[in-house]
Chains A and B, each alone.
Chain A
Amino acid sequence: QQKVQQSPESLIVPEGAMTSLNCTFSDSASQYFAWYRQHSGKAPKALMSIFSNGEKEEGRFTIHLNKASLHFSLHIRDSQPSDSALYLCAAKNMGYKLTFGTGTSLLVDP
């Protein structure tokens, strides 16, 4: 059964800083990797996803994937107070079941 672990559990960064969030997965057959963001009291919402090794950038957000090391990460450039939220990483193989990590709670201090 897929296991997904996130680090750190929580993080405080100053406004304008680079934020790096990490995720490891256990199933080497995983094909799809995603980050979701959940503001307090709200629903999780998909942020970014990646299928193949390398990196993908969308605005201030970059996702890195290294399948050989069973690791992917999310980097937020110029972090803003509105980025404060719970970040959930998730991975799956070719099926429909997505396994989520337990989340990293990010606080961006203005």
Chain B
Amino acid sequence: DMKVTQMPRYLIKRMGENVLLECGQDMSHETMYWYRQDPGLGLQLIYISYDVDSNSEGDIPKGYRVSRKKREHFSLILDSAKTNQTSVYFCASSFEGAEQYFGPGTRLTVL
């Protein structure tokens, strides 16, 4: 069964704390993505990973970094979280840039 998982599903942090969002996929897709979704702004691409240790900035990378050490796992890190990073974060994966499969999302609140 093709699946993208995200952990945690809900997270509340205080401003200045570090945040780690994790994503896994079982389809051996080489390409993985991190997006954030805010009302009225659609899905905004934060980072794209073409394979292990091959990552590229998306449209809104500022304040974020990523790590991909295994093909099936992609992490998003917020160093010293800010209140404007409160959002729903989606991870996705695809084979050669085709149809993207999304995880269930992580709702992050930064107080």
Report A's interface with B, CB cutoff 8 A.
1, 32, 34, 36, 42-46, 49, 88, 92, 95-103
Contacts and interface: CB of A to CB of B under 8 A. Distances in A.
Nearest to A9: B40
B94 interface: yes
Interface of B: 4, 31, 40-43, 45, 48, 50, 58-59, 90, 94, 96-105
Nearest to B58: A97
Given A43-B102, A44-B102, A45-B102, A97 B45 contact: yes
Given A95-B97, A97-B48, A97-B58, A88 B43 contact: yes
Contacts of B59: 1
B97 A43 contact: no
Contacts of B50: 96
A100 B40 CA distance: 12
A96 B105 contact: no
A1 B44 CA distance: 13
A44 B90 contact: yes
Most buried by A among B50, B59, B97: B97
B88 to A, nearest CB: 9
4 closest Cβ pairs, A-B complex: A96-B97, A102-B42, A43-B102, A100-B43
A2 B110 CA distance: 30
B32 to A, nearest CB: 10
Contacts of A95: 97
Most buried by A among B100, B101, B103: B100
A98 B102 contact: no
17 contacts: A43-B90, A43-B102, A43-B105, A44-B43, A44-B90, A44-B100, A44-B102, A46-B99, A95-B97, A96-B31, A96-B48, A96-B50, A96-B94, A96-B96, A97-B58, A98-B45, A101-B42
